[in-house]
Amino acid sequence: MSPARSGKEQVAVTTPAGDVPAASGVGALAAEMKRSRVSFGDGALVACDRLVRIYSVDGVEVQALQGLDLLIQEGELTAMVGASGSGKSTLMNILAGLDRPTAGTVTVDGHDLGAMSRRERLEYRRSVVGFVWQQAARNLLPYLTARQNVMLPMRLRGAGRRERSARADELLALMGMAHCADRVPARMSGGEQQRTAIATALANGPRLLLADEPTGELDSQTAAEVFSALRMANAELGVTVLVVTHDTAVSAQVKRTIAIADGRTATETLRDVHGGGGSAVEYAVLDRAGRLQLPRDMTEPLGMRDRVRLEPRTDHIGVWPDTPASGGEAGDDR
């Protein structure tokens, strides 16, 4: 188009942004996809969008994550539960920046974890996330004292000695670990090691603290102490915490518990933890394609398999077993 043929025609085919013609197929589709990506999880600290992770072992594919959607807001303390092999650690490793998704996107604090360079990934692991694993030996260096362990990540970030030492003592005190500051891990109990590990994970002031079964090897009393250290970190430092646990005592103490099943978020339980009664409401997660998973403990007693019958009502949807006898029209569907 010549510059002389101006004005009107150009305006007529140009979007307000002035670049992509609104009806130009691929361009419009790309813009639409970008918009939907931006709006999903806008403002959330963690946003997993249709996350897929496929492991390939000897030519056999294992789909550890199968299009998982998850949003976590800043400041939340969330528990994650699920059967063995459901994909919990796979998700934690991706969020920790140790593994990459096969497909889908995941952002944490604005960092697109699938698109980071090696260098950015390292920086991300140093300053944006902290992690605590089940095995104490994986969390702490055996030849360093508690204080030295906590100081180490700060040293890698380049903090000065005074700052490191002061912050290490502060964090150890917050975790109730001041008495172990000069001990090496072998001279601490399992619970003390895990509380030191939490202090170490908090050293560089991460936005997100990940803990993968941090109490898995502890007795229930010690586990409670470690869990209260995580709550302390959440309440006092405002760090967002995601903790994988098999411990129902732990999930009973958090407002939000997400259940993972077959590589997807299946249900969420929201609890009124401050209400004294601890009332809990279970929700099924409706993903962006409209899929939901019904918990097996609800479907099995009703013989629900393969397909269920749906009955839309004005304020809810009834779900019925697919048997000739199953009613609902006039029945009580509560």
Q: What is the binding site for ligand ATP (CB under 6 A)?
A: 55, 57, 62, 64, 82, 84-90
- Integer Cα distance of 106 and 255 in angstroms: 23
Instruction: Return d(Cα 63, Cα 9) in angstroms, integer.
Output: 51
Instruction: Give 83 or 298: the residue with its C-beta nearer to Mg ion.
Output: 83
The answer to whether 63 and 263 are in contact (CB under 8 A) is yes
- Measured from the CB atom, is 65 or 151 closer to Mg ion? 65
Q: How far is the CB of 51 from ligand ATP (least distance, A)?
A: 12
Nearer to Mg ion by Cβ, of 93 and 228: the residue is 93
Q: How far is the CB of 100 from Mg ion (least distance, A)?
A: 18
| Closer residue to ligand ATP, CB minimum distance, 89 or 193 | 89
Provide, rounded to whole angstroms, the least separation between the CB of residue 212 and Mg ion.
6
Amino acid at 75: G
Q: Distance between CA 266 and CA 291 in Å, rounded?
A: 10
Distance CA 1, CA 21 (A): 14
Q: Scanning residues 82 to 101, which ones bind Mg ion (CB under 5 A)?
A: 88-89
Q: Considering beta carbons, is residue 64 or 188 the nearer one to ligand ATP?
A: 64
- Per-residue buried b or exposed e for 298-313, using 16+ beta carbons within 10 Å of the residue's own CB: eeeeeebeeeeeeeee
Q: What x/- string results for residues 50 through 89 when contact with Mg ion is judged by CB under 5 A? A: --------------------------------------xx
Q: Check residue 329 and report its DSSP letter.
A: S
Q: Which residue is nearest to Mg ion (CB)?
A: 89
Among Mg ion, ligand ATP, none, what binds residue 85 when CB lies within 5 to 8 Å by partner kind?
ligand ATP
| Residue 84 near which of Mg ion, ligand ATP, none (CB within 5-8 Å, type-dependent) | ligand ATP
Distance between CA atoms of residues 196 and 191, nearest Å: 9
Q: Which does 317 bind (CB under 5 to 8 A by kind): Mg ion, ligand ATP, none?
A: none
Footprint of Mg ion on 198-257 (CB under 5 A): none
Burial class (CB in 10 A: 0-12, 13-18, 19+), 16: exposed
Question: Which partner, Mg ion, ligand ATP, none, binds residue 130 by CB below 5 to 8 Å per kind?
Answer: none
* Residue 87 contact, options Mg ion, ligand ATP, none, Cβ 5-8 Å cut-off depending on partner type: ligand ATP
57 binds, among Mg ion, ligand ATP, none (CB under 5 to 8 A by kind): ligand ATP
Cβ neighbourhood burial of 186 (10 Å; 0-12, 13-18, 19+): exposed
Nearer to ligand ATP, 86 or 204 (CB): 86
Nearest residue to 78 (alpha-carbon basis) of 295, 251, 279: 251
Per residue in 212-235, is it b (16+ CB within 10 Å) or e — as a string? bbbbeebeeebbbbbbebbeebbe
- Of 64 and 113, the one with the shorter C-beta distance to ligand ATP is 64
Query: Any idea what DSSP says for residue 202?
Result: T
Q: Smallest distance, Å, CB 201 to Mg ion?
A: 17
Told to check if 139 binds Mg ion by CB under 5 A, we report no
Query: Which CB atom, from 82 or from 101, has the smaller least distance to ligand ATP?
Result: 82
Q: Return residues touching Mg ion (CB under 5 A).
A: 88-89
